[in-house]
Every structure is written in structure tokens, then in C-alpha cells.
Structure 1
């Protein structure tokens, strides 16, 4: 709530810093609380150094917790808010690319914090596509692929997108039972848009 107030909550910045758990807590609640506090410090005080330090600690502590996959996702999303100020966390984000659950958020964060020319976009597209194929945050995977742009996609990527868009296999395989079909079709429609962008002729 303090973060939503932005600079108007500047008087709370000290209290936000004091609420941080430090380097001791590696439980999911501790990691998620510190991520929320880092985001609030960024929004309230514009303190990029503090936010980066806290998020770096969250990523490091998450390595000690086998149940921390979604905490890493939330930390990656918070990192994306920092824009270029979050670049010191690039190595942490790259380490999350191999996990399909974390990959889409990590790709989005890397595109937000990195200089476009410094990013190898094709491997990032591969990580995001694996996330969509495994039903691990497919909506976020589509966001990531859209952000990377069609130039990041290879012919093999296009073929696999076609399988997602038009294949017989169910795309969304988990969730509330009476919503799976609608969610799956909505996702197929997004993938079709991505696929059409891949196939569109280049501008002269």
C-alpha cells in the first residue's frame, strides 16, 4: 500500500527499511515480504541501490529454499520495474532461465533492465517458449515473446508456435476445470498473433 502512494509516502521510507528481514529469512513469506518492501522503496524513495541490494539478497536466499520458485518470479517482476537500474541483477535473472516456471518473468526483466544491443534475444525466446510449452505461466511467456519481437524467433520457434496455436494438444493443462478451454483458446489466439508477426514480410 505504501508503494502505491509513491513519493507521497516518503515519510515511511525509514519504516520500510526497518521492516526488511535482512539475510536470515529464506522462507517464502520472508522472501516475498522483502520483495514487496524493495518495490515499495523504489516507488516511494526512488532508492535503486537499496532495491537492488534487497532483491539480490532475495535471489540468493531463494537458492536455499526448494519451494521458492514463485518467490523468484515475484523478485524478477520487481526487478523489471527498476528498468536499467536493475542491470546489476542480470546474472541472477539469467540463472532463472532454465526453470520454465521462472523463465518468462526472467526474460521480461532482462529486456527491461538490459540495453537492447547487449541482449542475445534468441536464447531468451527459447526460454520463454519452453515456458509456454510446459504450461508454466504461458501468458507471461507470450508477454516475453512479444517484448522480444519476431526477429528473436528462429524457424524452429515458429514451428513450435504453430504447434501451440493449431495443434491438437491442450495448451493450458492446469487451473479451474470449467475455465481451461476458454483460457486455452485465448492463449492460442495470442500465439496466432505472434506467429503472424513471424510470417509477416519485412518492411522495405
Structure 2
């Protein structure tokens, strides 16, 4: 398996992202793949297309799961955030990079300045808030403001399940009485929160959201 993955960890390979994800699943057993993973990174001069950005995020996550050495991982994700901002369609690449950053915990603190700009986009808010809770200095966080931004994202159907995960991470202390009423309205109101997609999946997705929101309340 390691031999086959080494062959696929080649920049330009259409299988790079999948190979990196598989390497990450192996954890420390894949330590021999670290040189190939590092070589696969696009770096600051890498491409700005979504596949390029997602591949670097997958490689960074694999490096963390294998060795938990924050240096190259932080540098790789920092590069992804910079390049994603240059791509008008890089929103979801930024979301995936934020989710990867959250895995680092306090080791990802240098990425804090890259996460704050994502709070200006409802689609990116849940992942950015979740990552900030994980990596930022706790004393620097306005948790109530983050909770408001996350709830607004859910109301807009912008990653509603991600919004619940962010609220769970923010904790009950971040929710004002108004926030609790807003969450209750999302959980039990007449209007669906999940409103787009294939019809049967809309229904299932909306019920899943409501059940988790009720549990959170």
C-alpha cells in the first residue's frame, strides 16, 4: 500500500488528494510517505484552482495525522488560505482548509489571522468559527459575536450542520437568551432550514439538522 501511495503522491496526479487522504488514515504507519507528501505540496507558488488548493489541504492534513509536526502543516495551510483568497470560486477550498486547521488545536495558532477574514462570508463562517475556537487564544475570542455569525449562517442555509458543530464548540456560555430563541426557531419553526438539493435529501437533511439543534438546546 505504501508503495502504491508513493506512486500516486505526484504533483499533477489526479489522484493526489485521494492518495493523501489514504496516507493520513494510516497515521504514523505512513511515516515513510512524509518526503513524498512534502514534495507534493504546491506551496506559495502553487496553483489557485480548487483541485490544487484541495490537494494541498489534503496533504497538509495527512502530514499532521502522520507526524503532528506543525511547522510544514501550518505553512501549507497558510499558503492555501492566501491562494484561495485569489480565487473567486475558492470559498469551499477555504472552508476545507479551515476544517483542517481545526485539527491542529493550539499548534495552529499562527493561522488565526487567516481565519478572521473568512467570517465575512456566511458560507465560510461555521468552519472559520470552529477553527478559531480550536486554534486561537481563548482570551481573544468574542464567543457571543461568533455565535451570532454562526446562527446567521444557519438561517441563510450556509452550511447549517457546520453551524451546529461550531455552536457546540463555542459552548453554552456563548449563547445569549436571544441566541437560544433563534436556535429554537430553527429547531422547531415552520420553515425548513435545509431548503435546497434533491427533494428526499432536503427532508432528511432538515430533520437531521432539527434533531441535532434540539439536542444542542
TM (normalized to structure 1)? Answer: 0.90
Moved more, 166-175 or 136-145: 166-175
Instruction: Pick from 9, 18, 21 the counterpart of residue 39 of structure 2.
Output: 18
- 2:17 matched residue in structure 1: none
Once the 2 structures are TM-superposed, how far is the Cα of residue 174 of structure 1 from its aligned partner? 1.2
Contact 1:104 1:131 survives alignment (8 Å): yes
Q: Runs of 4 or more off by more than 4 Å in structure 1?
A: none
Alignment partner, residue 70 of structure 2: 48
1:68 to 81, 90, 108: 90
1:6 partnered with 2:10: no
Task: Choose which of 134, 138, 146 in structure 2 pairs with 1:112.
Answer: 134
TM-score under structure 2 length normalisation: 0.85
- What is the number of residues matched between the two proteins? 195
Tell me the residue number matched to 1:137: 159
In the TM superposition, what whole-angstrom CA distance separates every residue of 1:11-68 from its partner, at most 9, and x where no partner exists? 1111111111122310101100001111111122222010000100000001110111
1:19-34 counterparts in 2 under 5 A?
Answer: 19-22=40-43, 23-34=45-56
Q: Following TM superposition, by how much is the alpha carbon of 1:136 offset from its aligned partner in structure 2, in angstroms? A: 1.3
CA offset digits 1:127-166 (Å, max 9, x no partner): 2111211111111111111111121012221222122122
CA RMSD of superposed structures (Å):
1.4
Alignment of 1:73-88 (within 5 A): 73-88=95-110
Q: Which residue of 1 aligns with 2:178?
A: 156
Structure 2: segments with no counterpart, 5+ residues: 1-21
CA–CA distance in structure 2, aligned partners of residues 34 and 169 of structure 1: 39
